Amino acid sequence: MIFVCSPFQGKQENIEKAKKYCRYVVDLGYIPIAPHVYFSQFMNDLDPKDRERALEMNKKLLEFCDELWIFGDEITEGMRIEIEHFKRIKGEDKIKKINMKI
């Protein structure tokens, strides 16, 4: 399973990009885990309590992932938190930067 780490920041356009990143992962034969695509359906990233809860749930999901792939041109604060947590639990060698233009 691949954790899709990409910008969200409560923006619908970022969800659309994340869906394309997920399709890319599927096309390579892996299972994408992109909680921002799922959680955004019923949580509000602009609400500090929801955001904190989502980040904690993301950390739990990271435990089940084999790799973390970074997509997009920027690393947001939420992404940084996910990346640092994944480094601690799985190691830096399991993190990849994917250069994909959409």
Q: 84-97, pLDDT tens digit by residue?
A: 999 999 999 999 99
CATH class of 2-97: alpha beta
For residues 41-66, one letter each, b for 16 or more C-beta atoms within 10 angstroms of the residue's C-beta and e for the rest, the string is eebebeeeebbeebbeebeebbeebe
Residue 38 CB contacts under 8 Å (≥ 6 apart), including other chains: none
Show me where the domains of the chain are located.
2-97
pLDDT at 35: 96
Model-level pTM greater than 0.75? yes
**Residue 11 structure tokens:** 């923006």
How does pLDDT run across 40-88, given as a tens digit for each residue? 999 998 899 999 999 999 999 999 999 999 999 999 999 999 999 999 9
AA letter at 46:
L
Reduced to 3 states (helix: H, G, I; strand: E, B; else coil), residue 97 is strand
